Amino acid sequence: MQIGLEQYLTVSFLLFALGLLGVVMRRNLMVIYMSLEMMLNAANLALVAFSRFNDKLDGQVVVFFIITVAAAEVAVGLALIVALYRRHRSAHVEDLTSLKF
Amino acid sequence: MPLAAAGIITLFTLHFKTISSFISIGAILAGFVLTIVFISANGWQPAAGQGYGGQPVPAGESICQWLSADGLNIDFGIKLDPLSLMMMLIVTGVGGAIHVYSRGYMADDTGMSRFFAELSLFTFSMLGIVMANNFIEMFIFWELVGVSSYLLIGFWFEKPSAGDAAKKAFIVNRLGDFGFLLGILMIWQWLGTLNFSGLQGPEALGPYATIAGLLIFCGAVGKSAQFPLHVWLPDAMEGPTPVSALIHAATMVAAGVYMLCRIFIVLNPPALEVVAYIGGFTALLAAVIAVQQNDIKRIIAYSTLSQLGYMVMSVGLNGRTPAMFHLTTHAFFKALLFLSAGSVIIGLHHEQDIWKMGGLKRKMPITFWTFLVGGLALSAIWPFSGFYSKDSILGNALARHDFEGSLLFAVGVFVAALTTFYIFRLFFVVFCGKEKSETASHAHESPIVMTGPLVILAIFAFVGGLIGVEGVYNRIFMPHPGGLETSASFASELFGPFARSPLASGLGTLAFIIGLGCAYALYAKADKDPLPEKLGGLATAMKNKFYFDEIYEATFVRAHDFIAAVCDGIDRWVVEGFCIGSIRGGADLTGRALRFLQTGNLQTYAFLFVIGVAVALYVILK
Amino acid sequence: MDLQNILFYVFSALTLGCGVLVIANPFSRNPVTSAMFLVLTIISMAGLFVLLHAFFLAAVQILVYAGAVIVLFLFVIMLLDLKAEALRRVRIYGLVAGVVSVGAILSIFLKSLGSTLFSTESPPAPEGGPAELGKLLFTNYVLPFEVVSVLLLVAMIGVILLSKRNLD
């Protein structure tokens, strides 16, 4: 079967779904964050696939930027997690209840 | 002018008793003088050229356009025809006397200024009714009179019984006015106009003529205290005696009869029959009750009821002249009676039970004589004025030569006998015999400011029948050349009734003699009332006003309270509980539910975030 | 079968399998294992990129993502000495929320798939070498390029601030 755009998009979607599940279901902060990265990766894949099948390179440039931004975001996020851990002594997401009513 | 007086008193002089009284008296006397001037200048029936009274678009009538909606044109106007002029004379004349009298009666009452202000307001409203030229204007003043009477009856408002009586008067009046208003609406519907000059006969009213007429009559029933709306009049005695005199003797109750005469054209025979029977029945009922009352003012109040019944009955029997005539004379002698009673009450320091009085003939001679004159006038003995008027009524009834007339004639005669009986019962117990209590022996005569008006009214009560009042009314109501002119000689006028209808006057005189005889026999030397033993249960029933009040209380008042309670329940439970409660609970629940969204749980936020994005995309991609 | 197709299936299977293992490892709930499997996922994705002729990006992915980002993750895990996640009871709420959210995205995906037409032949695609990318990057996308560099600067400053123990 010819590998077309749909197949790549399906893969991308499945990866995204997995990341989403991880974010919503896991309790460990780090795992949640990693699932978040997985979602970003899925988006990258979709963009590259589009770029390939539409005969443009713009998609790849965007992916370039996304990777950069993702790296920056990871750095900042991890710094936040470190600060939180210092506060609460736990990396469990249910212990973060300051915003509770 | 009385309105100005009322306004001035209320605003400025509430604390100066003397000045207030003078302002009020001055206003009403000025009105009286003006009326006389007007009459003497223009005559009773102003000439057609002058443009007052009976012309199609009379110049003196429409003063200003008050309300103009589509199809409804209400003008404010003044109608100055003989009927209204006569009434004005009565109102200002008798009212003036009463105003002067009140100065003495209320001398030591702290609220005197307020009293005079309310008196002036009342006079203003009464004059308004008399001068109104269309239904709406009359209705406005009708209600104003009701309000003023409410104020006056409840004048001593510290007494709870006074307040209740005032409320009762007003509410019962309102019941009558409701019917009145319905009648007005019907008239407007069919005749298209509300002016009195535009009233036509019952043929123009179509099939509902009877009902329309009867509804308007309801207003008279309420205001003039006919059965079944008569229950407010006796309780209205809670007010000061001058109030009783003014309102119930001379003016307010007479307004009903005046109104009936005004709108007489729209009443067709069936309506007239009802009117006559109600009038007759009221007269009978009131007289019977009066026989057993022990409060001096209540006796006179019931006699008012009875006389009003006479007047209404007369209107129903197609005799407007006798009715208005009797109204005039009744104004004189009833006011006289009330004021004399007031003099007695003041003399005995506000004692009102007749069994505590007695032997006042020696102590208060002027009052004695004026009361005697009034009593004789009421009993309709020749040559007092009451004789002529009541005799006219009876004669008119007899002249119809039909069943209704004869029946009511018999009723009238019987009531005349009862009238004599109870008034002389009162007279003997109060004035003759020996003193029955301490206060009676200390009684003293009243000051001149009170006895003066008494004497004036007594004179009128005496001669009222002879001064051509009847002639004036005849000219109003029966303007055919063969009608009664002013007689050539005084003597023929004096004995006129005997000549015209000997049966009526003869029976009337006979009734008087019978009544007087019985009264004398029973009461001249009595120490306490001998009738209860003789009549037993009937006497008790009479004393208790035939339990009318109690019946009304049990039925209407209870029903009304029940409905009010139901409404209250609805308001409290359904509206407040259900509607407001549901809103309140709903808001509360929503708040609680939404509170759970603020979990602080990171993953919940993420989840909601995703859902939001999905929804947004869905909408965009649709 | 085409080699490309086979490779596609292999790489996608790898990606998805490792993705599953990132989030739901039945053997160990240690975050370190999750990190390891994330690395494998990223490498498989790089393979997919190569299949899509995005060579430069594949290299960048391995260098930046697998090299720097994951290393950072592991660094922080080790720093904080995170233990294995204690097994608290699996909340139904989380399960339901996850399923619902995935379902929502799935519906969007299917909807968008169903409403577009795809051409079956693949056009001649440009090669994604560094020269071509660079040409595009420095002409059309210069502004985002500069902005991203500022963003990196900001991120660095933020990180430094956030990790101070006590602020003066």
From residue B143, give the alpha-carbon distance in Å to each of B8, B74, B197, B199, B585.
22, 17, 22, 22, 47
Report the C-alpha gap between B572 and B237 in whole angstroms. 39
pLDDT digits 0-9 by tens, B386-431? 666 677 777 766 666 666 667 777 777 777 777 777 777 777 777 7
The DSSP line for B520-537 is HHHHTT-SS--HHHHHTH
Q: How confident is the model at residue B98 (pLDDT cuts 50, 70, 90)?
A: confident
Chain A interface test: which of C1, C10, C60, C69 (most A C-beta within 10 Å): C69
Query: Would you call B603 and C101 a contact, using CB atoms and an 8 Å cutoff?
Result: no
**Inter-residue contact C106 to A13 (CB < 8 Å):** yes
Share of chain B above pLDDT 70, in %: 44
- For residue B57, the model assigns a pLDDT of 34
Q: Where in the sequence is the domain holding A56, given as residue range(s)?
A: 5-99
- CB contact under 8 Å between B601 and A23, yes or no, is no
pLDDT digits (tens, 9 = 90+) for A37-79: 999 999 999 999 988 888 788 888 999 999 999 999 999 999 9
CA-based torsion, B271, B276, B281, B287: positive or negative: positive
C-beta atoms of A30 and C34 within 8 A: yes
In this prediction, residue B328 has a pLDDT band, given cuts at 50, 70 and 90, of: confident
From CA B404, how far away is CA B316, in angstroms rounded?
10
CA distance linking residue B602 with residue B606, whole number of Å: 6
pLDDT at B434 exceeding the cut of 70: no
Please name the helix (run of DSSP H) or strand (run of DSSP E) that holds residue C142, with its range, or none: helix C142-162
Radius of gyration (Cα) for chain C, nearest Å? Answer: 21
Mean residue pLDDT across chain B: 66
Largest Cα span, chain A: 55
Whole-number Cα distances in Å, C2 to A2, A51, B119, B529, C8:
9, 22, 118, 136, 10
Is the pLDDT confidence value at B209 over 50?
Answer: yes
Q: What's the pLDDT at C49?
A: 92
Q: Does A93 touch chain B (CB under 8 A)?
A: yes
* Nearest-by-Cβ selection for C105 from B603, B604, B610: B610
Residue of A20, A93, A100 lying closest to B610 (CB–CB):
A20
> Mean pLDDT across the stretch B489-514?
58
Taking residues B42-71, what's their average pLDDT? 42
Q: What is the DSSP letter of C26?
A: S
Give tens-digit pLDDT for C92-145: 777 787 888 888 888 888 888 777 766 655 556 666 677 777 877 788 888 999
How far apart (Å, rounded) are the C-alpha atoms in residues B463 and B585? 79
CB proximity C35 to A under 8 Å: yes
pLDDT at C45: 94
A20 inside 8 A of chain B by CB:
yes
* Token pair listed for B574: 């359904």
Note the helical H segments in B224-262.
Answer: 232-235, 241-243, 252-262
Q: Does A89 touch chain B (CB under 8 A)?
A: no
B611, C111: Cβ pair inside 8 Å? no
Residue B447: band (very low, low, confident or very high) from pLDDT cuts 50, 70, 90: low
Using alpha carbons, select from B435, B216, B242, B463 the residue that is nearest to residue B332: B463
- Closest CA–CA distance from residue B590 to any residue of chain A (Å): 15
Q: Which of C14, C53, C85 to mutate to test the interface with A (most CBs of A within 10 A)?
A: C85
Query: Which of A8, A11, A36, A85 should one mutate to test binding to chain C, selecting the residue with the greatest count of C CBs within 10 A?
Result: A11
Pick from B603, B604, B611: CB nearest C104? B611
Q: Do C136 and A80 lie within an 8 Å CB cutoff?
A: no
Task: Answer left, alpha or beta for residue C81, where phi above 0 means left and psi between -120 and 50 means alpha.
Answer: left
**Position of tokens 């299977």?**
C13
* Cβ–Cβ pairs < 8 A, chains A and C: 220
Q: What's the DSSP call for residue B295?
A: B
pLDDT at B548: 58
> CA nearest C79 in A: which residue?
A82
Lowest mean pLDDT among A14-18, A47-51, B29-33, C153-157: B29-33
State residue B133 phi and psi, 5-degree precision: -115, 0
Whether a cis peptide bond, with omega within 30° of 0, leads into B207 is: no
3-state secondary structure of B75: strand
CB contact under 8 A, B600 and A93: no
Q: Which residues of B touch C (CB under 8 A)?
A: 603-604, 607, 610-611, 614-615, 617-618, 621
CB-closest option in C60, C106, C109 to A67: C60
* C-alpha distances out from residue C120 to A6, A52, A57, Å: 10, 13, 20
Contacts of A2 (CB under 8 A, 6+ apart): C5, C120, C122
In B, minimum Cα distance to A97 occurs at: B600
Residue B68 β-bridge partners: B73
Give the pLDDT band (50/70/90) at residue B60: very low
pLDDT-based confidence at C70, cuts 50/70/90? very high
**At B136, phi and psi to the nearest 5?**
-65, -40
Cross-chain CB nearest to C108 (options B604, B607, B618): B618
String of DSSP letters for B354-413 = GGG---HHHH-HHHHHHHHHHHHHHTT-TTSHHHHHHHHHHHHHHHT-SHHHHHHHHHHH
Which chain A positions have a beta carbon within 8 Å of B613's beta carbon?
none
Q: How far apart are CA C162 and CA B103, in angstroms?
A: 97
**Contact status, residue B429 vs residue B355, Cβ threshold 8 Å:** yes
DSSP E strands in B250-379: the ranges are none
Question: Could you tell me if C60 lies within 8 Å of chain A, comparing CB atoms?
Answer: yes
Q: Above 90 in pLDDT, residue C37?
A: yes
Query: Residue B331: which of B191, B444, B456 has the closest Cα?
Result: B456
Chain A residues touching B599 at Cβ < 8 A? 99-101
Place of tokens 């003078």: B22
Q: Which residues contact A62 (CB under 8 A, 6 or more apart)?
A: A47
CA–CA distance from B89 to each of B16, B223, B469, C138 (Å)?
29, 20, 12, 113
CA nearest to C104 within chain B: B614
User: Using the beta-carbon criterion (under 8 Å), do A101 and B607 form an inter-chain contact?
Assistant: no
Per-residue tokens: B384: 């007092």
Torsion angle, CA of B237/B242/B244/B246, rounded to 10 degrees?
-170
- Who wins on pLDDT, B111 or C28? C28
Average pLDDT score over residue span B285-296: 74
Per-residue pLDDT at B49 exceeds 60:
no
- Tell me if residue B68 falls in helix, strand or coil: strand
3-state SS of C46-106 is HHHHHHCCCHHHHHHHHHHHHHHHHHHHHHHHHHHCCCCCCCCCCCHHHHHHHHHHHHHHH
CATH class belonging to C1-89: mainly alpha
Task: Look at C37 and B506; give whichever has higher pLDDT.
Answer: C37
Give the confidence band of B56 by pLDDT, cuts at 50, 70, 90: very low
Q: How confident is the model at residue B590 (pLDDT cuts 50, 70, 90)?
A: confident
pLDDT at B481 exceeding the cut of 50? no
Within 8 A of A89 by CB-CB distance, chain C residues are none
pLDDT at residue number C9: 92
Nearest CB to A63 within list C31, C48, C57: C57
Q: Which residues contact B151 (CB under 8 A, 6 or more apart)?
A: B118, B121, B166
The model's pLDDT over B503-550, given as tens digits with 9 standing for 90+, comes to 666 666 676 777 677 666 666 555 555 555 455 555 555 555 555 566
Residues 6 or more apart whose Cβ sits within 8 Å of residue A52: A59, C52, C53, C54, C122, C125
A76/C162 CB distance under 8 A: yes
Cis bond before residue B228 (omega within 30° of 0)? yes
Collapse the DSSP code of B482 into the 3-class scheme (helix H, G, I; strand E, B; otherwise coil) and give the result. coil
pLDDT given for residue B58 in this prediction: 36
| A91:C80 CB<8 A | yes
A95: amino acid identity, one letter = D
Reference B305, options B323, B320, B295, B290; nearest CA is: B290
* B-chain residues near A101 (CB < 8 A): 595, 598-600
- Chain C residues in contact with A80 by the CB 8 A cut-off are 162
Query: Does C45 or B63 have the greater pLDDT score?
Result: C45
- Average pLDDT of the residues in B66-76: 56
> Alpha-carbon distance B424 to B405, whole Å?
28
Query: Per-residue pLDDT tens for B229-282?
Result: 666 676 777 777 777 777 776 566 667 777 777 777 666 666 777 777 777 777
Find the mean pLDDT for residues C152-164.
89
Identity of the amino acid at B348: L
Higher pLDDT, B573 or B605: B605
Q: Is it the case that residue B86 has pLDDT exceeding 80?
A: no
Give the CATH number, domain containing residue A47.
Answer: 1.10.287.3510
Output the pLDDT for position B200: 57
Q: Is A46 on the interface with B (CB under 8 A)?
A: no
- ipTM (interface predicted TM): 0.89
Q: What is the phi-psi region of residue B266: left when phi exceeds 0, alpha when psi lies from -120 to 50, beta otherwise?
A: alpha
How close is the nearest chain C Cα to the Cα of B617, in Å?
Answer: 7
Contact of B189 with B277, CB cutoff 8 Å = no
Residue of higher predicted confidence among C99 and B168: C99
* pLDDT tier at B53, thresholds 50, 70, 90: very low
The tokens describing A57, both together, are 């390179």
Provide mean pLDDT across the span B436-449. 57
Give me the residue from B603, B614, B618 closest to C94, CB to CB.
B603
- The pLDDT of residue B157: 67
pLDDT at residue B340, as a whole number? 77
Greater confidence (C40 vs A96) lies with C40
- Closest approach of A18 to chain C, Cα-based (Å): 7
**Percent of all residues in chain B with a pLDDT value above 90, rounded to a whole number:** 0
- Output phi, psi for B120, to 5 deg: -65, -40
Q: Which of B86, B464, B27 is nearest to B254 (CA)?
A: B86
Helix, coil or strand: residue B56: coil
| Chain-chain contact of B600 with A23 (C-beta, under 8 angstroms) | no
- What's the CA gap between B142 and B140, in Å, rounded? 5
Q: Is the pLDDT of residue C63 over 60?
A: yes
Query: Do residue A24 and residue C65 have CB atoms under 8 angstroms apart?
Result: no
- Average pLDDT across chain A, whole number: 86
Question: Which chain C residue's Cα is nearest to B619?
Answer: C108
How far apart CA B264 and CA B312 sit, in angstroms, is 12
Query: How many domains in chain A?
Result: 1
Q: Is B518 exposed, middle or buried (0-12, 13-18, 19+ CB in 10 A)?
A: middle
Extents of the domains making up chain C? 1-89, 90-122, 126-168
Average confidence (pLDDT) over C66-77: 91
In the chain, the amino acid numbered B161 is S
